[in-house]
Amino acid sequence: MDKNKQGKEIKMSNLLEILRLSMVCKRSQREIASLCKVSQSTVQKYIKKAQAVQASYQELESFSESEVEEHLGIKVAKTPQKNRGECFVDFKNIHLELKKKGVTLQLLWEEYKEENPEGIGYSQFCNLYRDFKKSLNFSMRQNHIAGEKLFIDYAGQTVPIHLRGGEIKKAQIFVATLGASNYTYCEATWSQKSPDFIASHVRTFQFLGGVPQVLIPDNLKSAVSTPCIYEAEANSTYGEMARHYGISIFPARSRRPKDKSKVETAVLIVERWILARLRNERFGSLLELNQSISKLLLVMNQKEFKKIKGSREVLFRQLDFPALSPLPVTKYEFSDWKKVKVNIDYHVEIEKHYYSVHYSLVGKYLMARYTENTVELFEGKKRVASHLRSFYESRHTTLEEHMPKSHQEQVKWNPSRLLDWATKIGDSTHSVIHHLLHSRKFHEQAYRSCLGLLRLSKVYNSKRLDTSCSIAIEHGQFSYRYVRTILEKGQDLIFSNNKFQENSKSIEHENIRGNQYYQ
């Protein structure tokens, strides 16, 4: 058997090309060796074989493979037969097995050799697998570990919803897809803001029946507080949700579309397979739209792949689902975070309601976490107060243990000091402050309003403030806001002018001439 220096049999196509380049194109042996990727000695050997039998290229080209071998007295490598070892390698299955954690080509080859002792070697096994991967599209060639990554994004396309009264609102389309199986979830929400964004994640985990290891969102504000190419930082609410489910967050880098190519492909498929089919339908509510989306989503996930065996749902059941972490006992409850300052009344303001903390924290900044049901306040990582959520505006929620035993000794402000300040401004101001202090269960709950009202004397003046308080008393309105409105609109000035004119008309004296004297 004739072989070249590299120990490989020359193929029929290469043999005929060598002879064609030499006999027809008159190329040098060095050029032929370079073009055909063989050694120069191999070129020389086969040219001499043809010259020895005085064969022309036209004659050899018309021969069959066996006739060329016989005529030149050489053996040419044949195409592998169907019963060769590599033909028994199921590279579609190999491709799927590689998605499982810890599985390598070396391990799969060893398992293959156990079943096929006469099969191909490791190098050829790897080369054939690489050839198989080249036949797949780009997105399917990426290697993703089962149950590891969930990619998150929103579709660029929105869906109009026709509400009652003729109003049209555009619904956003949330899309999430798993890396290994491409199993996809999508839904419509009113916005991309944190409450909707977090709620979509919770429903995604319920849809999957488990939790992945890593979330890879785009750099939208609901996910990332500090966008950065190298170290994007997730916002506090999103981070808290991730901790509840035991997930890590690795936001995609800004202007790096390859980081989230999985979900971009999923978004494109959702737009073509779902949104395009709904383009001519009219929806009157978000619920109607999501019902239609869920039906088409089921079909999309069950659709067979073209390049590999199975569908998104089949691969999800085989790969991702067994690798997902179990769902926690309770769903995550959405919460907002806010930096707050403890006022002199040892209360903090959240959504126009006031919650108490210990009086020793007066003047400090705390972090407030509030949900639909609870309000929690933290100094660093330490929780310093917890309350049931209240939606009554301008009201107070106060715990007695937060109050000082002797407010006069422990806190800078007290009722006596506030009343003394009010007395210096005027009797009407004193009456309003007295009413505010005694209208609350605890005096401290009125401190904020009292201070706000008294400080109006610095913005305007004491006389105007006292006049405004007298107007408020006449109307039975004992509040800071009412007095401030009077001052802002100048109603106290109008009141003073009218009262002056009335007093002028009522004064009669023999030394006062009156208006008629000057006519």
Identify the band that residue 361 occupies on the pLDDT scale cut at 50, 70 and 90. Answer: very high
Does one domain contain both 344 and 434?
A: no
Identify the band that residue 13 occupies on the pLDDT scale cut at 50, 70 and 90. Answer: low
Does one domain contain both 402 and 434?
A: no
State the SS3 of 236-247.
Answer: HHHHHHHHHHCC
Cα three-residue angle 182-312-278, rounded to 5 degrees: 90
Q: Is 185 helix (H, G, I), strand (E, B) or coil?
A: strand
Does one domain contain both 294 and 197?
A: yes
Instruction: Look at residue 222 in the predicted model and tell me its pLDDT.
Output: 63
In a domain, 79, yes or no: no
Query: CATH number for the domain including 220?
Result: 3.30.420.10
CA 140 to chain centre: 23
Does one domain contain both 129 and 67?
A: no
Instruction: Look at residue 144 in the predicted model and tell me its pLDDT.
Output: 72
In a domain, 143, yes or no: no
Q: State the average pLDDT over residues 143-147.
A: 75
Contact by Cβ (8 Å): 148, 323: yes
Domain span at residue 93 reads 85-135
CA distances to 154, 185, 304 from 137, rounded to whole Å, are 23, 22, 15
Length of the chain: 519
Side-chain-side CA neighbours of residue 356 (13 Å)? 19
Q: Which helix (H) or strand (E) holds 225?
A: strand 224-226
Does one domain contain both 347 and 264?
A: no
What's the structural domain count of the chain? 5
Give the E-state strand segments of 351-457 in sequence order: 353-356, 365-370, 374-379, 382-388, 396-397
- Read off the pTM: 0.49
Q: State the average pLDDT over residues 223-251.
A: 68
- Spatial distance between the Cα atoms of 214 and 152, rounded to a whole number of angstroms: 11
Q: What is the pLDDT of residues 458-499, one digit of tens each?
A: 888 888 888 888 888 888 888 888 888 888 888 888 776 666
- Spatial distance between the Cα atoms of 244 and 328, rounded to a whole number of angstroms: 8
- Spatial distance between the Cα atoms of 125 and 103, rounded to a whole number of angstroms: 15
Q: What is the DSSP string of 269-302?
A: HHIIIIIGGGTT--BSSHHHHHHHHHHHHHHHHH
Q: What is the pLDDT of residues 265-299, one digit of tens each?
A: 888 888 888 888 888 899 999 999 999 999 999 99
Inform me whether the pLDDT recorded for 84 exceeds 50: no
- Spatial distance between the Cα atoms of 512 and 492, rounded to a whole number of angstroms: 29
Does one domain contain both 128 and 194?
A: no
Does one domain contain both 300 and 378?
A: no
